[in-house]
Amino acid sequence: MPPPIQPQQMDGLILAAGEGRRLGLGPKAFLQLAGHTLLAYVAWRLKEFTDRVVVAAPPEMVERCQTLVPWATVVVGGKSRQESLAILLAQAHAPYVLVADVARPFFPPAMVFAMMEAVHRSGATAPFLSSQVPNALASPDGLTTAAIPSHQLLIIQSPQLYQRATLQKVYAQAGLENRQRQSTVELCHAAGVAVAMVAGEESNIKITTPLDWQMAQTLLLPLLPSLPYGRLPER
């Protein structure tokens, strides 16, 4: 069995350059729960596993993000998720990269530990959750063409863990059209890279809609990491 991954072998990369248009409350990085921003929660969780955290922020918000996480490296993100991840990947130095989304702060440490074991299988691993309900395949003309059993359809979650060399290979092989895809797992499949599965968590929601934000404020607060008051201390 491969030796366990050490903190100095893994960089934490945070996608935080979105504008939060669907939620309508501005950039999600600055939304607050119990007095701390989503960016602070996600960065602190990644700091538990990595020696270095890099954040992709909106161009006009870099300074503000840097104030929130002064011990992290904050860079200007791209116009899409995949452009931002390419920028973050260029900043990474460690053999492994733990890729997190600022809108998904509720992931448990056990999920990261599971990925640290699974990543050796193919160089790429992510948490997946069963859809739990029957699904259908839609056609452009508004008709369904097939029913998909729930056990065959999985919901992709984050964070995701990659060998840096594997993710670099995926981006090198992905054309411009593929790079606009929302999911990095899709890019892996397009490049012929299998993704090792670990168990996702129902509570590991992505804050996208007003209902998600309401759930985060009322039901999921106990799942957030404990943060010290004010600025996070340096390692």
Alpha-carbon gap, residue 65 to 102, rounded angstroms: 12
162/227: higher pLDDT: 162
Residue with tokens 């790429």: 124
Alpha-carbon gap, residue 139 to 79, rounded angstroms: 29
pLDDT at 176: 56
Burial of 198: CB neighbours in 10 Å, binned 0-12, 13-18, 19+:
buried
pLDDT digits (tens, 9 = 90+) for 50-87: 989 999 999 999 999 999 999 999 999 998 888 999 99
pLDDT digits (tens, 9 = 90+) for 91-127: 999 999 999 999 999 999 999 999 999 999 999 999 9
**Residue 229 reports pLDDT greater than 60:** no
pTM above 0.85, yes or no: yes
209/163: higher pLDDT: 163
Alpha-carbon gap, residue 22 to 114, rounded angstroms: 31
CA distances from 47 to 128, 134, 211, 230, 232 (A): 23, 38, 29, 16, 10
pLDDT digits (tens, 9 = 90+) for 120-179: 999 999 999 988 888 888 888 889 988 888 878 899 999 999 999 999 999 888 765 555
Q: What is the DSSP string of the chain?
A: -PPPPPGGGEEEEEE-----TTTTSS-GGG-EETTEEHHHHHHHHHHTT-SEEEEEE-GGGHHHHHHHSTTSEEEE--SSHHHHHHHHHHH--SSEEEEEETT-----HHHHHHHHHHGGGTSEEEEEEE--S-EEEE-TTS-EEEEE-GGG-EEE-S-EEEEHHHHHHHHHH--TTGGG-S-HHHHHHHTT---EEEE--TT-----SHHHHHHHHHTSGGGSPP--SSSPPP-
Per-residue pLDDT band at 3 (split at 50, 70, 90): confident
Bridge partners (DSSP) listed for residue 146:
137
Residue with tokens 């909106």: 58
Could you tell me the fold of the domain covering 8-219?
Spore Coat Polysaccharide Biosynthesis Protein SpsA; Chain A (3.90.550)
Q: Which residue type does 119 have?
A: V
**Chain mean pLDDT for the chain:** 88
pLDDT at 179: 55
pLDDT at 178: 57
pLDDT at 228: 65
**CB distance 122 to 198 below 8 Å:** no
190/182: higher pLDDT: 190
When pLDDT is averaged across residues 39-58 and rounded to a whole number, the result is 94
**Residue 214 reports pLDDT greater than 80:** yes
pLDDT at 17: 86
